[in-house]
Amino acid sequence: MKQRHKLTKWLVVLVALHGIVAAAGFFAPYDPTEQDRERPYLPPMHVHLMDAQGHLHLRPFFYPFRLREGSFDQYEEDTAQIVPIKFFERGTRYHLLGFIPSRLHLIGTASTRIYLLGSDAYGRDQLSRILYGGQVSLLAGLLGAGVTLLLGALIGMAAGYYGGWRDELLMRIAELFLALPWLYLLFALRAFLPLAVSPLEAFLLVVVVIGMVGWARPARLVRGVVLSVKERDFVRAARGFGASDFYLLRRHILPETASVLLTQAAILVPQFVLAEMTLSFLGLGVPEPMSSWGNLLATLQQYNVLVSYWWMYLPALAIVPFFLGYLSLATALQERTSPYKMEEKTSWNLS
Amino acid sequence: MLYFLRRALHAVFLLFGVSLLTFLFSALTPGNYFDEMRMNPQISPETVAALRAQYQLDRPLPIRYAHWLNAVVHGQLGFSFAYNSPVAPLLWARARNTLLLTVTATFLAWLLALPLGVWSAAKLGRAPDRVLSSATAALLVIPDLVLALGLLILAVRTGRFPTGGLVSVSFDELSVLQKLRDLAMHMALPVLALVLSTLPMLVRHVRASVAEVLNAPFLRAALGHGISHRKLLYSYALRAAANPLISLFGFSVGTLLSGSLLVEVVMSWPGLGPLLLESILARDLYVVIGGVLLSMIFLVGGNFFADVLLYLADPRIRTAASAK
């Protein structure tokens, strides 16, 4: 009961997190590619309730930034001007989930643009870019995991079900892929694919590359399950009734592998989101002007950005709650399938 | 003896497979290093063709592979297009820097992980264990890219640590002691990033395997004989729990060349990582293959090393192996 509870809790957390990113258009105040060349590298704005005169405002507001005198990149708050933050404001046009046209944004302002997490070199809103970038990174991770699990399940079932030399060959190749460090494999695969491609092609390429890296572990796990399931009585009975291989695999064997595949999915998705981040960070993945968590971080490779504009690091932190959610989900799933728990074992007190 | 022979054969097979695999990937490549020259109007198509012929890029894949294999057997790893020099010395110079970093980090990580893990297992379920478990869990959800970048930002904001490179520009003018200090300062950040990213996994494994043996009857008996707790934990329990840890240690040794790739790139440490990335971007084929192969040799070697250690440490494996 307690484990079920845990599982549900983390599932809810993850659905909420993905929901925020999926509805990026609503939560982001602006379009991620909209530039404001007058305001490069604006630091995150402070939201106030109390103004400089000590009056309390019911509606949160901020002071717009102006250049500090004699400086070209140091900003200070202009306390003469109060910009109230409006909620459920109409703004830039966008498509919710890609097909519902809307202009509604969670936050907005009437006049000066609001930069809750600062702006980048072109004055683009960092918050909007992180939210939209999450769509790219998460989708790459999810699709990559889908490709991997499909490959893993197919290869694992083929190896386990048919056995013999096919099993032998497939498992030797799987060993090869397991032995290679995954980052190297990622690089090696990427190295031999074209570099100059359009953003969409690059995205698909990243998905394919990521998807092809990790199939070995799920394949081996699936094979193990298939090996034991195919000798079970209900499968033998079905075979005795003349069921075809395909029918047996689809109706009787595949469902038995579901829990292994689910656990693997929870482990693989965050890994693959990170893989996309790594590739894009190194300039091998999704290119500008599309934003992804990886290529948002790529500006940190410039020393002056690293020194002066710490808020360019914020996209890196976006992945942490997702990691936490997925790892906890994976643990909860594992505990469900194997109810052995170390903490609950009667432990012998040493001291 | 037969046991080792079989493991070694397996390792060779694995290396062979990897090299074949990387070559196969390279065959799927659209374009090569000399493609950019073709765009240049100042270089005639004949020159490009001649260069391609010189590096045998115009030959079919099996022949190229045979040539390369032949070179590897003779201790060479091919030729770099970009550096215009043999690959092996190029890789070796960088691999040394990588090893300097990773050997230090691995040593430190294990030095910390063993006592922490044993301590945690001894206090299983109580306050120290809980604190430590939460700490490792927290570190576990911070990916190494995020960790390395975060450390880098901290470093530049405090200004205490140099950010990037192996040594300072003025290195040659320093005294021996200052040289050591300079090197240590440059190593501090990448080593810290590596230790922090490997430590949680190690601590958890040590804790799990020690906790498993703590219930064993022989340990109760030893306790009954009045053997001290410290001796009980470190010399009795740890030895009984050693097998999975030895395998893990072999894995640690195996990833010495490949584990620090990302951290090296982020912290601009002149190791294998940046070189590999550079040559991927330049399509410097043989450097990529050489780099991957070199780290594979380490990985396979690490596993083999773990097998040898296990064989020496566990009499059960010895008898099982000789019985076959």
- Section A41-49 average pLDDT: 82
Q: Shortest Cα distance from A53 to chain B (angstroms)?
A: 33
Relative to beta strand A86-96, strand A65-67 is: unpaired
Put simply, the answer to whether B261 touches A343 (Cβ < 8 Å) is no
Query: Taking 70 as the threshold, does the pLDDT of residue B85 lie above it?
Result: yes
Query: Taking 60 as the threshold, does the pLDDT of residue A351 lie above it?
Result: no
- Section B201-223 average pLDDT: 86
Q: Is A219 or B298 the better-scoring residue by pLDDT?
A: A219
Query: Taking 60 as the threshold, does the pLDDT of residue A340 lie above it?
Result: no
Put simply, the answer to whether A306 touches B156 (Cβ < 8 Å) is yes
Percent of chain A clearing pLDDT 90 (strictly above): 6
Determine the pLDDT at residue A345. Answer: 37
Query: Taking 50 as the threshold, does the pLDDT of residue A121 lie above it?
Result: yes
Put simply, the answer to whether A351 touches B255 (Cβ < 8 Å) is no
d(C-alpha A47, C-alpha A45), whole Å: 6
Choose among B21, B122, B149: nearest Cβ to A350.
B122
Put simply, the answer to whether A350 touches B214 (Cβ < 8 Å) is yes
Q: Which regions of chain A does DSSP assign to beta strands (E)?
A: 48-50, 56-62, 65-67, 75-77, 83-84, 86-96, 100-108
Cβ contact A21:A131 at 8 Å: yes
- Section B246-271 average pLDDT: 84
Separation of CA B39 from chain center: 39
Which long-range contacts does B129-135 make (Cβ < 8 Å, 24+ apart)?
A: B129/B207, B132/B203, B132/B207, B133/B207, B135/B200
Query: Given CA atoms B180, B183, B189, B192 in this order, what sign does their dihedral have?
Result: negative
Residue pLDDT, tens place only, A182-236:
676 677 666 666 666 777 777 888 788 788 888 888 898 898 888 888 888 888 8
Q: Considering only residues 124 to 143 of chain B, which have any Cβ-Cβ distance to chain A shorter than 8 Å?
A: 124-125, 140-143
- Section B54-80 average pLDDT: 76
Closest-approach residue (CA) in chain A for B263: A278
Query: Given CA atoms A286, A288, A293, A297 in this order, what sign does their dihedral have?
Result: positive
What does the mean pLDDT of chain B come to?
81
Q: Residues 6 or more apart from A263 whose CB is under 8 A from it?
A: A330, A333, A334, A337
d(C-alpha A137, C-alpha A203), whole Å: 9
**Does the CB of B232 have a partner CB in chain A at under 8 Å?**
yes
Determine the pLDDT at residue B31. Answer: 59
The torsion angles phi and psi of B306, rounded to 5 degrees, stand at: -65, -40
Residue pLDDT, tens place only, B305-314:
888 888 888 7
Query: Taking 90 as the threshold, does the pLDDT of residue B108 lie above it?
Result: yes
Closest-approach residue (CA) in chain A for B119: A350
- Section A45-62 average pLDDT: 80
- Section A28-50 average pLDDT: 81
Chain B hits for A184, Cβ within 8 Å: 258, 261, 276, 292, 295
Choose among B281, B288, B303: nearest Cβ to A188.
B288
Q: Is the ipTM of this complex over 0.85?
A: no
Q: Shortest Cα distance from B140 to chain A (angstroms)?
A: 9
Choose among A277, A313, A350: nearest Cβ to B153.
A313
Closest-approach residue (CA) in chain A for B157: A307
d(C-alpha A128, C-alpha A228), whole Å: 50
Percent composition of chain A: helix, strand, coil (DSSP 3-state, to 5): 60, 10, 30
Closest-approach residue (CA) in chain B for A309: B153
